[in-house]
Structure 1
Amino acid sequence: MIPYAVHPSRPEGERRPDAGFTLLEVLVAVAILAAVISVVPRSLVSARTSIGHSRAWLEARLVAEEVLAAELRNGRIRPGAFSGAVRGHRWRVVVVPAAVADAQPSNGRVLLEARLSVEVSASRVLAVDRLLVGGSQ
């Protein structure tokens, strides 16, 4: 009979230097890698879409500011409805006298409420409300 060979004992959990990964460890690593790879492209697409929406809202806001600045510069602010288009964005402004109890025109000037709507896309509109000083007629 051949005597039983006794290996020197190792602390538990320590691997042999020539030991590799088990099949289970490789499968877990591949599953984690697959999950990460599937999330990253969706995140990039979502971020790109958000940037596009932000750009459209910013352009609409700049159009609104440009329209209001042009109206203020020309001094043509009067009650009524006006519309137009700037850089591909359609806009409409409705100007009415402000609903203030003591609104008495002085020197032909009156406080006006202006609601400016700028089309961001086919289904979205940016609305800007302002109080302005303008002519009473």
Structure 2
Amino acid sequence: MIPLVVQPNRPEDERRSDAGFTLLEVLVAVAILAAVVSVVPRSLVSARTSIGHSRAWLEARLVAEEVLAGELRSGRMRPGAFSGVVRGHRWRVVVAPAAVADAPPSNGRVLLEARLNVEISASRVLAVDRLLVGGGQ
């Protein structure tokens, strides 16, 4: 035999309040959801832009290292201005005798100051300063 469960008599208003959410609870949930949905896409776009900028700076840094290594390898480092294009990045280097080099050059070698600029975009430039040993003439 199945026992009968008898529920106490409750007024109908009391049963309805337990049945679902109030309008205020739904509005609060929608407001929170709207705030989260508006913040997340902006964060993703910002992160993606930051990654793109980092990639561009890294490529410019690699171009600068490649140009300086090429000039050092060639052994023709001398005072003057040089420019070119490597992997789509324009570069320009100005080489001058270093201000600290007051001593006369030995064996035709002097301390040179090189300022290398690599163009990242129309408005951004990576500048690298180096001291190098090169020919005085």
- TM-score range with shorter-chain normalisation? 0.7 to 0.9
* Structure 1 residue 101, shift from structure 2 partner: 5.5
- Alignment partners' CA distance in 2, 1:102 and 1:43: 54
Cα displacement (A) at 1:103? 3.0
**2:115 match:** 115
Say whether the 8 Å CA contact 1:63–1:89 is kept in structure 2.
Answer: yes
| Residue 12 of structure 1: aligned partner | none
Describe how 1:32-43 pairs up with structure 2 within 5 A.
Answer: 32-43=32-43
The percent identity for this pair of structures is 90
Q: Distance in 2 between matches of 1:69 and 1:30?
A: 59
> Which stretches in structure 1 are left out of the alignment for 5+ residues?
8-14
Choose between structure 1 and 2: higher helix proportion. Answer: 2
Provide the rounded CA distance (Å) in 2 between the counterparts of 1:16 and 1:22: 11
Mapped to 2, the partners of 1:104 and 1:37 lie a distance apart of 68
Does 2:46 match 1:46?
yes
Aligned residues: CA RMSD:
2.1
- Structure 1 segments of 4 or more deviating over 3 A? 15-19
Q: Which runs of 5+ in 2 are unaligned?
A: 1-7
User: Once the 2 structures are TM-superposed, how far is the Cα of residue 16 of structure 1 from its aligned partner?
Assistant: 9.1
Structure 1 contact 92–117 (Cα < 8 Å) conserved: yes
Alpha-carbon distance between aligned partners in 2 of 1:103 and 1:125, rounded to the nearest angstrom = 34
Distance 1:103 1:92 in 2: 28
Note the C-alpha offset of 1:104. 2.0
Q: Secondary structure at the match of 2:81?
A: strand
TM-score by length of 2: 0.86
Per the alignment, residue 85 of structure 1 pairs with 85
Residue 105 of structure 2 corresponds to 105
Q: Which residue of 2 aligns with 1:58?
A: 58
Aligned residues: 126
